[in-house]
Amino acid sequence: MNIIIHPTYFPSISHFVAIVKAESVLYEVEDNFQKQTNRNRTYIYSPNGIQLLNIPIKHTKISHQKTKDIRIENDFDWQKQHFKSLEAAYRSSPFFEFFEDDLQPVFEKKHDFLMDLNFEVLELLSKCMRMKMDYSKTTSYLLETNPELILDYRTLVNGKKDQSQFEPYQQVFDDKHGFLNNLSILDLLFNEGKFTVDYLRNQTL
């Protein structure tokens, strides 16, 4: 199975269910940026329930700007805020400390472009999960795909419309708020550790 999908910020579990089942992954890098999508945001399980982590972007007067041209707004330390939120959410999880040293550098390096950060995150996650990730990138925007040749999972970038449902696993605060479905892959990684890829392979989209 070949798929096309967007590179996003610490992608949702549904993204990785698609990726681990794919023979090849084609990343869409020629799309126009859309606000309020997972291109620059991810969702974690905080002590108060679901929490949005959002990367601030520089605004321009260009109405249709390509995602690969989107610059990150680094005037305030959003990275420090994100990492503190992850610590508050997952410090007591089984595997946070195991991955902490691998993850921390990505919250310390300053990136100019959102796309560069998202691909660095993907490389980091593949290392954490010990998952070989071979991929290619689009050279032009694909208006549509032939479903017999390639499955189009670009709609998963719009988290609000992603209706994927997955099997419950143990979460840090599930005694307070119950199971929260399809969060950032970090939620699964911190709670399941080395069993993350096995879990993903057992899920369906």
The domain ranges of the chain are 2-201
Torsional class of 193: left (φ above 0), alpha (ψ -120 to 50), beta (otherwise): left
Q: Are 8 and 182 in contact (CB under 8 A)?
A: no
Of residues 174 and 61, more confidence is placed in 174
Q: Are 27 and 67 in contact (CB under 8 A)?
A: no
Higher pLDDT, 132 or 128: 128
Sign of CA dihedral 92, 97, 103, 108: positive
pLDDT for 147 equals: 80
Q: What mean pLDDT is predicted for residues 23-27?
A: 95
Residue 112: predicted pLDDT:
96
Q: Which helix (H) or strand (E) holds 2?
A: strand 2-5
pLDDT 10s digits, 72-88: 999 989 999 999 999 99
Regarding pTM above 0.85, the answer is: yes
Give the per-residue pLDDT at 111: 95
Q: Is the pLDDT of residue 142 over 90?
A: no
Distance, in Å, from the CA atom of 69 to the CA atom of 65, rounded to the nearest integer, reads 7
